[in-house]
A and B are shown apart, each in its own frame.
Chain A
């Protein structure tokens, strides 16, 4: 085995957004990251020279074993429709359903990675009544077992590694590939949905820039308001597993910093929340989804208490799109 780590990246029923996100990798950029980690991108749909027959030859070499493969990355859902034929995505130039290629290639790769929530769980194309018959590599929505059985393991002894997110953060992908390349990623490094714990041991709430508004339940009421978006605007940041506010996007961004709710895009089934994405469902005025690990009675009691203790500044600023009351400056006595 060469000490280089080979990656084959394929796309099926997705939008290509995880690849676009990957190009946003910074310090170091994508190519440098791969180079530094000893990763060879055998083929990537946006980056490689090989087209048409050259590429199909490569796939066949992987299938017959003459081209060893360390990691197969799939971006996009597996398209099983119509009627389980897979004809909703025939891999161009091959006349063969992509679904069949994926089954064969995943048996050859040491590791198989689902890049993004589509490949992991089925994702956005599963919404509505799932017209394309979409599923994930090893999940069918929230149910374990997708294209591959729930007990399936790659030759490297791992289930499909679900680098979920819609899109996925470039750092989540490069960290995972680098950890695999140096042999530092084992089953204990994955959470209960086989996502890398490196980013799912955090909640989106951690590092939220609206935390002061959250503490005092000073809530946004309309798009562009500065307040906490949990009470009215559908924000799931206190329940969503990801480090988006600790490790921002595109420099200093995150969904919440961009002015809109976290929709829990790293979770299976996020595409069908059962309510309008940007409105919080409530019973008797209390949001149905409470912060992870928070007992309901305590949440209700603390929310009532903190609402009554909300500073005037925080309350006023919560329903404005800019600061109208600034924090008081106190003389410290220091010269």
Chain B
């Protein structure tokens, strides 16, 4: 048995270190460490509750809008506010824009460049993948970056800028939209749809969203050349490298549900482990056995949670806490969202491989197609002239919870207001779920489990399989270690 320490991982958001125990060229056990602490939960204590809206997006520059939405929802819950439907529509558009752009960034800039590495030079597909996806010089980014930037004009129009908007308010959207602007939003989205259908999918979004099983996905891929689209190209690589057998997760998927109009989410929430179970936030605790945090005696629900750093704690190895649902390790992200929502392709993939490098990427691309279609609906439903924001009056004592799905999974904010100030603010980010350390029972987190079995060839510093597994979760360490 030998020990390997890998880090820093780039092309993830934030700093990440992974310690592996390797035997016979395979990972036997893994420990994931987020080596940065900033202390947002401490900073928020004592602040005016509305000031949270300035601080929380700055937890993370890639999940910025998601953090804002979670905070707005937590405040909305605490204030018992009813938001006008226009406010929900604009919120959904901003959130969807961030999530879709993040999926795109992940696929083109973070994930695919690993397959362009020299280590794969002997593979039949390598030359084409290198030409298209190699870091910095690959051709795909020539059209991808401008397409992404123009798509994000939606952020400029509705949110002022990205990242770090303050247009998302507890009462809805501070930015009202005129009829002329609705037309411009349509133009932005139509242009982006055109790019997706031409470059990423080589097919209509509706056709991608209609693929309903792992077998039909294989048929879809077999019916076209890998050069016809980036999705087809990925499926060829995934097939050749067996990515569906790599990075198997817990098979237990969490989504808190997202894109609400009123109380109805466009993607339903729940936990799927072969059957759909309801998700209640009361079933969540954070365990800090392996975290550099001063310990209360038992894992606590976030409303009762605390954050005090302690770097010298015995047995601790990460700044990340270990959230558990009904005591269980769960996986979240685009695949989990689509599985929980009941999309037949996602359910089929989950049944075949329980969550893998390949199915996590397919889940993300499937979600791009579905979400852009939904965005067109929300734009069509905007009613200029009707209100976008509700007045918000602050109570002296209240508590609230805000649950939303960021690109990389379930995000929750738990807020306690006392004497008109924030008494406690606890955050569980998607990568806190996925990259959690061991809990008091010694059970490793989702990534720690998914890494077991990955190949670590002797003398090869890159440990490419480990990198594929890590990046398949699209981790965001800065959210994790708020």
Q: Which A positions have Cβ atoms within 8 angstroms of B? A: 11-21, 23-26, 29-31, 41, 43-55, 77, 79, 81-82, 87-94, 124-125, 127-129, 131-132, 134, 166-167, 222-224, 226, 248-261, 263, 276-278, 321-322
Known A-B contacts A41-B136, A55-B8; A16 and B462 likewise in contact (beta carbons under 8 Å): no
> Is there contact, CB below 8 Å, between B164 and A250?
no
Which of A18, A26, A30, A255 has a CB less than 8 Å from the CB of B160?
A255
B16 close to A (CB within 8 Å): yes
> Which of B145-153, B213-221, B397-405 participates in binding chain A?
B145-153
A222/B136 in contact, CB under 8 A: no
Q: Are A51 and B10 in contact (CB under 8 A)?
A: yes
CA distance A277 to B47 in the complex (A): 11
Complex Cα–Cα for A10 and B37 (A) = 16
| CB nearest neighbor in B for A131 | B39
Q: Is B165 an interface residue (CB 8 A)?
A: yes
Given A223-B171, A277-B51, A277-B54, A49 and B113 contact (CB-CB distance below 8 Å): yes
B267 CB within 8 Å of chain A: no
Q: Provide the bound-state CA to CA distance between A320 and B299, in Å.
A: 48
CB atoms of B384 and A15 under 8 A apart: no
Q: Closest residue to B482 on the A side, CB-wise?
A: A15
Beyond A41-B136, A46-B109, A252-B157, whether A11 also contacts B14 by CB under 8 A is: yes
B109-127 contacts to A, CB under 8 A, are 109-110, 113-114, 116-117
Query: Whole-angstrom distance from the CB of A273 to the nearest CB of chain B?
Result: 9
B55's partner among A14, A127, A132 (CB-CB below 8 A) is A127
B344 at the interface (CB under 8 A from A): no
Does chain A have a CB within 8 A of B162? yes
B465 CB-CB contact with A under 8 Å: no
Q: Establish whether residues B149 and A322, one from each chain, have CB atoms under 8 Å apart when the complex forms.
A: no
Nearest B residue to A258 via CB reads B160
| 21 A–B contacts from the bound complex (CB under 8 Å) | A16-B62, A25-B149, A31-B141, A46-B11, A46-B105, A47-B136, A55-B10, A79-B37, A82-B309, A92-B9, A92-B33, A93-B17, A167-B61, A222-B389, A222-B391, A224-B172, A249-B162, A251-B156, A258-B166, A321-B387, A322-B176
Nearest A residue to B59 by beta-carbon distance?
A15
Question: Closest residue of chain B to A278, judged by CB?
Answer: B50
Please give, as numbers and ranges, the residues of chain A lying within 8 Å of B148 by CB-CB distance. Answer: 23
B238 within 8 A of A: no
CA distance A254 to B11 in the complex (A): 28
Evaluate whether A256 and B160 lie within 8 angstroms (CB atoms) in the complex, with A23-B148, A52-B7, A91-B15 already known: yes
Count, A-B residue pairs, CB within 8 A:
267
In Å, the complex CA distance between A138 and B403 comes to 39
Q: Determine if B60 and A15 form an interchain contact, defined as CB atoms under 8 angstroms apart.
A: yes
Distance (whole angstroms) from the CB of B320 to the closest CB of chain A: 13
Q: Which residues of B contact A249 (CB under 8 A)?
A: 156, 160-162
**B167–A260 contact, CB under 8 A?**
yes
- B71: CB under 8 A from chain A? no
| Residues of A contacting B61 in the complex (Cβ-Cβ under 8 angstroms) | 14-21, 167
- Tell me which of B55, B146, B178, B309 contacts A124 (CB under 8 A): B55
Write the residues of chain B forming the contact surface with A, with a CB cutoff of 8 angstroms. 5-11, 13-17, 33, 35-39, 42-48, 50-51, 53-55, 58-62, 64, 105, 109-110, 113-114, 116-117, 134-136, 141-142, 145-146, 148-150, 152-153, 155-167, 169, 171-176, 178, 309, 311, 384-385, 387-389, 391-392, 461-463, 467, 478
A223 x B389 contact (CB < 8 A): yes
The distance in angstroms between the C-alpha atoms of A252 and B5, with both chains bound, is 45
- Identify the 8 closest CB pairs spanning chains A and B, nearest first: A258-B160, A17-B61, A92-B7, A253-B156, A250-B156, A131-B39, A251-B153, A93-B7
Contacts of B10 in A (CB 8 A): 43-46, 48, 50-51, 55
In the complex, how many angstroms separate the beta carbon of B333 from the nearest chain A beta carbon?
A: 18
With A82-B311, A321-B176 known as contacts, the answer to whether A49 contacts B135 (CB < 8 A) is yes
Q: How far is the CB of A262 from chain B (nearest CB, A)?
A: 10
- Chain A hits for B55, CB < 8 A: 124, 127
Question: How many angstroms between the C-alpha atoms of A248 and B160 in the bound complex?
Answer: 9
In the assembled complex, the CB of A257 is this many whole angstroms from the nearest CB of chain B, namely 6
How far in angstroms is the closest Cβ of chain A from B322? 19
For A26, give the chain B residue with the smallest CB separation: B149
Taking each of A14, A26, A125, A224, which has the highest tally of chain B beta carbons within 10 Å of its own beta carbon? A224
User: How far does the alpha carbon of A322 sit from the alpha carbon of B387 in the complex, in Å?
Assistant: 9
The distance in angstroms between the C-alpha atoms of A166 and B7, with both chains bound, is: 27
Min C-beta distance of A47 to chain B, whole Å:
6
Q: Which residues of A contact B156 (CB under 8 A)?
A: 248-253, 257-258
Residues of chain B within 8 A (CB-CB) of A19 are 61
| B149 touching A93, Cβ below 8 Å | no
A260 to B57, alpha carbons, bound, how many Å?
Answer: 14
| A21 nearest CB across to chain B (Å) | 7
Q: How far is A31 from B134 in the complex, measured between Cα atoms in Å?
A: 13
Give A272 to B136 CA distance when docked, in angstroms. Answer: 38
- Bound Cα distance A230, B388 (Å): 21
Contact B163 A277 (CB under 8 A): no
* A52 engages B175 (CB within 8 Å): no
Nearest CB in chain B to that of A323: its residue: B178
- Distance (Å) between the CB of B58 and the closest chain A CB? 5
What are the residues of chain B within 8 A of A258 when measuring CB–CB?
Answer: 156, 158-161, 165-167, 174-175
A194 CB, nearest partner CB in chain B, Å: 22
Contacts A224-B176, A259-B174, A259-B175 known; list 6 others, CB within 8 Å.
Answer: A16-B61, A17-B164, A24-B162, A89-B37, A92-B17, A278-B50
Q: Which residues of B contact A94 (CB under 8 A)?
A: 7
A12 contacts B36, C-beta separation under 8 Å: yes
Residue of B nearest to A88 (CB): B37
Task: Considering the complex, give the chain B residue whose CB is closest to the CB of A53.
Answer: B461
B149 pairs with A23, CB closer than 8 A: yes
Q: Given the complex of chains A and B, what is the CA–CA distance between A24 and B47 in angstroms?
A: 32
Contacts of B166 in A (CB 8 A): 255, 258, 260-261, 263, 277-278
